[in-house]
Structure 1
Amino acid sequence: MNYKIILIALLFTGFLSCKKSDNSKVLYLGHTLPQTHPVHKGILEFQKALELKSNGTLKVQIFPDAQLGSEREVLELLQIGSVAATKVSAATLSNFVPEYHILGIPYLFRDKEHQFNILEGDIGKSILAKGSKFWLRGLCYYDAGSRSFYTSKKAIRTPKDLEGLKIRVMNNQMAINMVNSMGGSATPLAYGELYTAIQQGVVDGAENNPPSFVSSNHYEISKYYTLDQHSSVPDVLLIGTKYWESLSKQEQIWVQEAADESAQAQKVFWNESVEECMAIAKKAGVEVIIPEKSLFAEKSKSVVEDFVKEYPEMADIVKQIKK
């Protein structure tokens, strides 16, 4: 069903109103991931922590599996105040808040420790705050691992192997430029269409993290997984500013604390899921390839150079991160 039809129906029934009859407030949170995903488990921790801190006066109702629409559609619902919160990829969010483009720069982070030192420090918090002027207030980052290439017919061992291959990417300019710089042909495509597109040869492969590779069942039709780990784009837990401003100062504190606690719990879920999903993929006959990452990093340098030229005001932030 079209999300706009759902929205209209919900608005007319008062389903998305902030208050319930028992005077508790309900935070409606929609996202696109399945309930088995480690990010959804992190959101469940947010739900649990917020209800506990508020003694049940703030409740969270979660709509997973894209019930309220795609990531972009739910972001638009947040902006007009019809939904309170969501979880989206920073790549999708960059189409609304330019500063999130920074987090998609290939090989920006040296390792996981470096990444979360940045995300949970001053730089990461400042980027979360940038969304407020677009009615999208960032609460915290969730670990979405590192994205790597997977293909159906041909293994990728060096960037040269990408030549002539159509690789599905998110509809994000950074991702498009990165794949093209490495020699592939970037093909933006809706995630829900990807299984069939690989199966029918519309695209030759895609790029994503292990939990998404397995939860989407793409491992069934893509038997080569190259762990080049070209980008580590986090997920972001967001709250619409219209809902945020309806909360008292104390309620805002509870929401932020619950988000921060859920982010730490989600990291554990993520690591467990990566181990489990890699085991599933290998058992299903997927060849896991560990390439020389520096070859891919070298090819993608032009993406960073072009980004700094296009967004000179963000050049200093990139330098700070690399330091």
Structure 2
Amino acid sequence: MTFLKMAKAALLASVLMTGSALACETTLRSSDTHPDGYPTVEAVKAMGKMLEERTKGKLCIEVFHSAQLGQEKDTIEQTKFGVIDMNRVSMGPFNNLVEETKVVSLPFIFRSTDHMHKVMDGPIGEEILKAFEPHGFVGLAFFDGGSRSFYNSKKPITSIDDLKGMKVRVMQSDIFVDMMTALGANATPMPYGEVYSSIQTGVIDGAENNWPSYESSGHFEVARYYTLNQHLMVPEVLVMSKASWDKLSPEDQATVSQAARDAVPVMRKLWAEREKASEEKVRAAGAQVITDIDKQPFIDAMKPVYEKHVTSDRLKDLVARIQATE
């Protein structure tokens, strides 16, 4: 990422900024690759309203959805330099930067959505948020990313054997690549925005994601087999640039932090509603949803992934504490 590109992003943010945001003393630019109306986008908008009310118009948030400021890999770098103030990002792209994010990106690390909430809302979640700071970010809150499952254009996946040789898109994360390798598939890292055309043209056979992303991206139109194996329940994170954070007063920092946490239940409510609506839309469109699947062989196949990525005593302890959380 060159400074020219970052300058262009800043110019774009300035041009796009409209409405009440201009009246605020400080407007925080927030990026999201998801489309307008998506739960994460709406949650940050809700956070912005809280901030505007609680600071009496001193602080506002302008949300740039639909990857207006770039794909996640690019926006992470822009956020680090303070060109973008806030960023809602998937955990995968942070795996090679913030070591602790690897643990919550591991396949089958969470037993259920409730288990994930218990972990991320508690001391373990706080510990992971703090781990972002040495890398130029302030971790604000965790949002839900749903449970991710496989979908493809070729055939129903009912066992590990059905995945062998398939070209499956994954996020640009070593863990996701190794997960697919352990399952016998050919992992193909690529930006989210390229998946639809890549499935349509046969560059890849499929991908993996949650109900809302499978639906909102239109991937169900070109990959009509969706297998609910739920191999991943990876939280998403809302971070702020440390450079932007340091410009705020301690009082404003506290207000931003609290507003981010207060946006979490807003996001979860919207997520549950959106998940249900997305499933209904996908099923109505005729996609084949495979629910009769034994997850245990998938879980057993993940042993080498854990052995490769959970190497330090600190990460092993983190895994143990997550698994021990009731």
TM-score by length of 2: 0.93
Which residue does the alignment assign to 2:32?
Answer: 31
The equivalent of 2:59 in structure 1 is 58
Which residue of structure 2 aligns with residue 221 of structure 1? Answer: 222
CA distance in 2, matches of 1:39, 1:14: 19
User: Distance between the aligned counterparts of 2:289 and 2:220, measured in 1?
Assistant: 11
Partner Cα separation in structure 2 for residue 10 and residue 111 of structure 1: 38
The alpha carbon displacement at 1:255 in A equals 0.3
Q: What amino acid maps onto 1:73 in structure 2? A: D
> What is the identity, as a one-letter code, of the residue corresponding to 2:115?
H
- State the partner residue of 2:243: 242
Amino-acid identity (%): 34
Q: Write out aligned runs for 1:44-55 (5 A).
A: 44-55=45-56
- Per-residue CA deviation, residues 132-165 of structure 1 (Å, 9 max, x unaligned), is 1111111000011011000111110011110111
Match of residue 8 from structure 1: 7
**Corresponding residue for residue 170 of structure 2:** 169
| 8 Å contact kept, 1:3–1:68 | no
Matched, 1:306 2:308: yes
Match of 1:198 in 2: 199
Aligned AA for 1:24?
E
Task: Give the secondary structure class of the aligned counterpart of 2:110.
Answer: coil
Q: Is the 8 A contact 1:94 1:100 kept in 2?
A: yes
Structure 1: state its 5+ residue gaps. none
Which residue number in structure 1 is paired with residue 281 of structure 2?
A: 280
Aligned partner of residue 144 in structure 1, secondary structure = coil
Aligned-pair distance for 1:183? Answer: 1.5
Return the letter of the residue paired with 1:210.
Answer: W
1:208 is the counterpart of 2:212 = no
> What secondary structure sits across from 2:132 in the alignment?
helix
Counterpart for residue 233 of structure 1:
234
Can you list the C-alpha shifts for 1:224-274, whole angstroms capped at 9, x where unaligned?
100100011111000011111111111011101110111111001111111
Distance 2:158 2:11 in 1: 54
Deviation at 1:10, TM superposition (A): 5.9
Task: Return the offset for 1:95.
Answer: 2.7
Matched length: 319
Distance 1:226 1:200 in 2: 21
Aligned pairs for 1:57-96 within 5 A: 57-96=58-97
Unaligned runs of 5+ in 2: none
The whole-number CA distance in structure 2 between the counterparts of 1:300 and 1:97 is: 21
Asked if the contact 1:6–1:68 (Cα under 8 Å) also holds between the matched residues in 2, the reply is no
2:259: which partner in 1?
258
Distance 1:153 1:60, change over 3 A: same
* Counterpart Cα distance in 2 of 1:188 and 1:42: 28
| Counterparts of 2:194 and 2:45, CA distance in 1 | 27
1:147 touches 1:232 (CA, 8 Å); kept in 2? yes
CA distance in 2: counterparts of 1:14 and 1:160, whole angstroms: 47
CA distance in 1, matches of 2:168, 2:130: 33
Per-residue deviation at 1:295? 2.0
Pick which of 3-12 and 157-166 moved more.
3-12
For residues 184-195 of structure 1, the aligned pairs below 5 Å read: 184-195=185-196
Q: CA deviation at 1:12?
A: 7.0
Q: Which runs of 4+ in 1 moved over 3 A?
A: 2-7, 9-17, 20-23
Structure-2 residue corresponding to 1:321: 322
Look up the equivalent residue of 1:298 and give its one-letter code: D
| Distance verdict in 2 for CA 1:113–1:22, change over 3 Å | closer
Deviations along 1:147-200, whole A, 9 cap, x unmatched?
100011111001111011111101100001111111111111121111111011
Counterpart of 1:294, as a letter, is Q
For the residue of structure 2 that corresponds to 1:277, the secondary structure is: helix
Shift of 1:62: 1.2
Question: Is contact 2:169–2:189 with CA below 8 Å preserved after alignment?
Answer: yes
Shift of 1:286: 0.7
For 1:4 and 1:202, the matched residues in 2 are separated by 33
Distance (Å, rounded) in 1 between the aligned partners of 2:166 and 2:108? 21
Q: 1:25 to 1:163 in 2, by over 3 A?
A: same
